[in-house]
Amino acid sequence: MTFLQLLYRSIPRTPDFDPSDLAILRASLRNNAARGITGYLWRANGQFFQALHGPAEAIEALFARLEADPRHRDLEILLKEPAEDASPFPDWSMGYDHFLALELDAELDENGARRPIAAEEARQIYARMVAAAEEVRRYGSAFPYARGAGEDEAAYLARLDASA
């Protein structure tokens, strides 16, 4: 089976901290776990960055659904390449956190435009998301809808379900 890693960015149609992200996360955790997909989603000041890893067919099917999802627009694939079978996001059917776009030097400009990001830089962003996922797995994140300290994925999903 071929595995892919994919990184894309998009523009949310909802504001940061919007409760609609809860529905995204609950669907993602359930669907991805069933399909062998893992990954991480960042809300970064008016942008989404999402890293995905999984079987190529499952990733392609998910990306087709993502492109049709009205909760964001202008999806741009920054990286899509074959990956090792083992996920760099073990224990993350889907993670979620907030991040400052300026830390990536990837803010929107005054016209809402995005500067180009080439594959090598996209690989570095992917690696940063992998590191962030590991940090949050260990220590938790205090941001709304993110996983808390010591919370495993089952407890996380149960908490998200309870707050929906």
Ligand X SMILES: Cc1cc2nc3c(=O)[nH]c(=O)nc-3n(C[C@H](O)[C@H](O)[C@H](O)COP(=O)(O)O)c2cc1C
Point out which residues bind ligand X (CB under 6 A).
24, 27-28, 31-32, 41, 48, 50, 62, 65-66, 69, 71-72, 94
CB of 56 to ligand X, least distance (A): 15
Cβ–Cβ contacts within 10 Å for residue 152, how many?
Answer: 11
Cβ-based nearer residue to ligand X, 14 or 140: 14
Considering the complex, state which of residue 53 and residue 120 has its C-beta at the smaller distance from ligand X: 53
Q: How far is the CB of 15 from ligand X (least distance, A)?
A: 13
Least distance (Å) from ligand X to the CB of residue 21? Answer: 8
Task: Return the number of the residue (72 or 147) whose C-beta is nearest ligand X.
Answer: 72
Nearer to ligand X, 23 or 149 (CB): 23
Q: CA 71 → CA 45, 65, 158, distances in Å?
A: 15, 11, 23
Q: Shortest distance, CB of residue 32 to ligand X, whole angstroms? A: 5
Torsion of CA 156, 37, 134, 69, to 10 degrees: -70
Q: Which of 108, 126, 131, 91 is nearest to 44 (CA)?
A: 108
